[in-house]
Structure 1
Amino acid sequence: MLITEAPFTLRKWTVEEYHKLGEIGFFNPEERVELIEGNIIQMSAKGTAHTSATRRTASVLRNLLGDRAAVYTQDPIALDDNSEPEPDIALVIIDPLDYATHHPTPSEVYLIIEVADSSLTYDREVKAKIYARSGIADYWVLNVNDRQLHVFREPVENGYQSELILGENGRISPLHFPAVNIAIPEILPPIRSN
């Protein structure tokens, strides 16, 4: 006998319920979680390459953009009622209240970057779909293992229509800041010489 339906359904969470869980101390303070499509996802530990690339990318963006945009690292983005990811880097509109009353929403996001060491498939498939569905026009996945940058643009309901893969010698400009030119080696972890 072939069973075509699971005898159970998963309970989905809203952003409001997710926040309440955090307020009552449901999550361990050291636990890294995010809400994706109503599911509470436990994020993997950050390796040294991931940490280095995140730090380097944020620094490069801050230096190049100055006071034209805010660079947030691993802070929540309010996509909709069921998704509040914490991307490695979000380039957002500067808010005079520093987002004290709300997390940045898609209309306030210029660029989202996820750094992938062990999460490449998840970032390219699951996260790309939720970011595209929310209208994030510029989404990058920095693949530190293969030393590549995946650039996703032209969002539609089911994902992005365009994915460009740049090698480590490539250069890229954020859509909203075309005069800003970033060399991929500047945001990748440095290669150790022996």
Structure 2
Amino acid sequence: MTVHVTRALDGFSRRAFSVAEFERMFERGILDDSENLELIEGEIVPMAAKSHVHERVKSAILLVLARELPRNLWLGVESSLEMSEMTLVEPDLVIYPKSFRLREVRGPDILLAVEVADTSFRFDRDHKARLYARYGVQELWVVEANSRTTYIHREPRGGAWTSIAEVPASGLLQPGATDLQHIAFRLGELD
């Protein structure tokens, strides 16, 4: 049996887990379904509890996207996405073709991933954004829930985003994917 290892910021090696092992921990009750966890490059990472403002912003974006979504696409809410054997993430919102089953969806299949953040903003904007770029997600929005400022990441290349734009709450948000370009809204105008 191969034991995967990751290296923490302190320089010490840690036992890394695969997605299959992570899922078995839930199945066997080692981890509880109520725990808000992601597997990031083999490390089990607890996610912050969602605040009222986080849920309001996420729901507002969800309602706009759901109303305008073409029939050939699927809008997932906190869907578990296996980016690799060692990474399982749950973006707040994700859009991908209906022709894929959730277990088949990989980075390049994702037209838009949305991470709404308040206390986890720095982690989502920096570390998690690089992760999404590495796996080829087509577009990522990181929304700072309190200010409703959105950081739009596009054109992943070589594990990094070649385009990052900061859009204030009063600015127009419009996805870049061809099937989504008819959607346009301002976060500052949503309740």
Report if the CA contact (8 A) 1:60-1:186 is conserved: no
The one-letter amino acid paired with 2:22 is Y
Q: Distance in 2 between matches of 1:7 and 1:185?
A: 43
Q: Distance in 1 between matches of 2:129 and 2:120?
A: 12
1:49, distance to aligned residue in structure 2 (A) = 0.5
1:53, distance to aligned residue in structure 2 (A) = 1.1
Change over 3 Å in CA distance of 1:65–1:40 after alignment to 2: same
Change over 3 Å in CA distance of 1:7–1:173 after alignment to 2: closer
1:66, distance to aligned residue in structure 2 (A) = 4.3
Q: Name the SS of the counterpart of 2:175 in structure 1.
A: coil
Partner of 2:181: 178
Percent identity (aligned): 27
The alignment covers a number of residue pairs equal to: 181
Deviating above 2 A after TM superposition, structure 1's stretches of 4 or more consecutive aligned residues are 5-8, 156-159, 182-187
Unmatched 5+ stretches in structure 2: 1-8
Q: Distance in 1 between matches of 2:155 and 2:139?
A: 8
Report if the CA contact (8 A) 1:76-1:103 is conserved: no
Change over 3 Å in CA distance of 1:160–1:45 after alignment to 2: same
Report if the CA contact (8 A) 1:87-1:114 is conserved: yes
Q: Distance in 2 between matches of 1:29 and 1:18?
A: 12
Q: Distance in 2 between matches of 1:94 and 1:117?
A: 30
**Equivalent position to 1:45, from 31, 42, 49:** 49
Unmatched 5+ stretches in structure 1: none
For CA contacts below 8 A with separation 6 or more, give which structure has more relative contact order.
1
Report if the CA contact (8 A) 2:116-2:142 is conserved: yes
Q: Distance in 2 between matches of 1:115 and 1:63?
A: 19
1:181, distance to aligned residue in structure 2 (A) = 1.6
The one-letter amino acid paired with 1:174 is P
Q: Name the SS of the counterpart of 1:67 in structure 2.
A: coil
Report if the CA contact (8 A) 1:56-1:186 is conserved: no
1:186, distance to aligned residue in structure 2 (A) = 4.8
1:105, distance to aligned residue in structure 2 (A) = 1.7
Q: Deviations over 1:12-68 (max 9, x none)?
A: 111111111111111123211110111111111100010111111111101011423
Partner of 1:73: 77
2:151 matches 1:150: yes
Q: Deviations over 1:54-107 (max 9, x none)?
A: 1111111010114232111111111111111000110111137x53xx252223
Partner of 2:23: 19
Partner of 1:86: 90
Q: Name the SS of the counterpart of 1:46 in structure 2.
A: coil
Show the 5 A alignment for 1:77-156: 77-95=81-99, 99=102, 102=103, 104-156=105-157
- TM-score, normalised with respect to structure 2: 0.87
Of Structure 1 and Structure 2, the greater strand share is in 2
Change over 3 Å in CA distance of 1:6–1:152 after alignment to 2: closer
